[in-house]
Structure 1
Amino acid sequence: MAGIPQIEPYPLPGATELPGNIASWVAEPDRAVLLVHDMQRYFLRPLPGPLLTQLVANIARLRDHCAALGIPVAYTAQPGGMTEQQRGLLKDFWGPGMGTDPADRDVLPELAPAPDDWLLTKWRYSAFFGGELLRLLREHERDQLIVCGVYAHVGVLATAIDAFTHDIQPFLAADALADFSAEEHRMALAYGAQRCAVVGTTGQLISQLDAASPVSAGAGGPGRTAHDG
């Protein structure tokens, strides 16, 4: 049956459970963009409560820290109500998709974009489809992309591969991603680490960013800045 399956609870991966990285890239504040991938209500509905709570907390921590360091934050979101032509082959695997109701389209309020964030319309698995993300990365002279959100083995992995193809270094925030199952989550991280990305936990990526920042946000971590409210 087409569509997102109901997801059973599973623990998000910790630092000791991550695959070994081949690339030695380090996330840097003056090179990186954070991409919050597809955190819309429609996509999150199948996630069990505890998993969603932990996912949102880790994304919010990463998002707030990036904002405090002046790192651009981008969001992908499907428009909903796609025509059959717009939907294309997606309909054969996922059905008609979301409608235009805010109950489907809205990003969770805990992760709501700030006024200066980049808002990207999502049409296919990869966030690069359509060219806007690549244009913004080039325009802002950014060549690293930290990805968090859903779903790891679908759009997140497709976006990471596309970033790699464009010589943008992708970083996968392992515990700020979720998937249909623990197995598919691990598969996405393993493929990323072996073929196209650097995989790290939220804490590890924050530590990398702080170490590379001329003005670190401090050991206690930043408060909400661009996203206060």
Structure 2
Amino acid sequence: MTPGSIFPYLMPTPSMLPDDTTGWDLDQSRAALLVLNLQRRFVRLLEQEAAPVTQLLANAGRLVSAAHTAGVPVIHSAHRDGEAFAEQVAPRTGDAVLTARKHSAFARTRLDSRLRDLKRDQVVIAGLFARVDVLMTAADAWVQDLEPFVVADAVADTSAGAHEFALEWVADTCGAVTSTDRVAAAFDPAVPAAEAV
């Protein structure tokens, strides 16, 4: 593996996001937060590639806190059992942790049935890796009649190109692309969902 640039790529800003064609409104009573692959070993890999790790963890941590405050279920997906999570998003009491066998968090896991049991049909997706795991999880959510929302500044990959590709592909095919600010506002019971996203 070759070290990346000494300058990290920049997280997308709201003005850089692809247009939403879904017409969906994020509703905290329908949503679950899905955190993908934010284990320390993956974070270290991104640091070597000069990805925007500080922003990723800050925004993902903010989403986890907002979800807990609002009573939105938080589900973590990891590729191996027992791996240490980044401190900012470490699972808390009541969070679910699933072991993913494939790139999609839905493949060979109980994620779909868990969401159905929780009566949640919207999935807010944060974490790694945008071009593969995030993209495939969003597509699988859509195939299963769920509404995926990918949080553009709370996902990352090893390059800006991979990150941008994932956001554009999701927006074009299967989901909504949003921002941490918008999701945090939607999770706040004082802010109507239609105004937040």
Q: Look up the equivalent residue of 2:126 and give its one-letter code.
A: C
Structure 1, unaligned runs of 5 or more: 81-101, 217-229
Contact 2:125 2:150 in 1 (8 A): yes
Q: Which residue of 2 aligns with 1:221?
A: none
Name the aligned partner's letter for residue 145 of structure 1: V
Q: Which amino acid aligns with 1:69?
A: A
Partner in structure 1 of residue 74 of structure 2: 73
**Superposition map of 1:1-229 within 5 A:** 6-8=3-5, 9-48=8-47, 51-79=52-80, 105-210=83-188, 213=189, 215=190
CA distance in 1 between partners of 2:128 and 2:4 (Å): 12
Contact 1:7 1:46 in 2 (8 A): no
State the superposition RMSD in angstroms.
1.9
Matched-pair identity in %? 36
Q: How many residues align?
A: 188
Residues 7 and 47 of structure 1 are in contact (CA less than 8 Å); yes or no, is this contact kept in structure 2? no
Q: Which amino acid aligns with 1:61?
A: R
Shift of 1:208: 2.9
The TM-score with structure 2 as length reference comes to 0.89
Distance (Å, rounded) in 1 between the aligned partners of 2:19 and 2:178: 10
1:13-60 C-alpha deviation (Å, 9 max, x unpaired): 000110111101111111000011000112121223772111100001
| Contiguous gaps of at least 5 residues in structure 2 | 192-197
TM-score normalised per structure 1: 0.77
Aligned partners of 1:137 and 1:143 also within 8 Å: yes
Alpha-carbon distance, 1:6 to partner: 4.5
Amino acid at match of 2:160: A
The answer (yes or no) to whether the contact 1:5–1:180 under 8 Å persists in 2 is no
Counterpart of 1:24, as a letter, is: G
Contact 2:99 2:109 in 1 (8 A): no
Measure how far apart 1:180 and its partner are.
Answer: 1.6
Write out per-residue CA displacement over residues 87-113 of structure 1, whole angstroms, 9 at most, x where no aligned residue: xxxxxxxxxxxxxxx7xx211122110
| One-letter amino acid of the structure 2 residue matched with residue 70 of structure 1 | G
Aligned AA for 2:79?
A: Q
User: Over residues 54-77 of structure 1, what are the superposed CA-to-partner deviations in whole Å (9 max), with x where a residue is unaligned?
Assistant: 110000111100110000000011
Q: What residue identity is the alignment partner of 1:163?
A: A
Larger C-alpha radius of gyration, 1 or 2? Answer: 1
SS in 1 for 2:184: helix
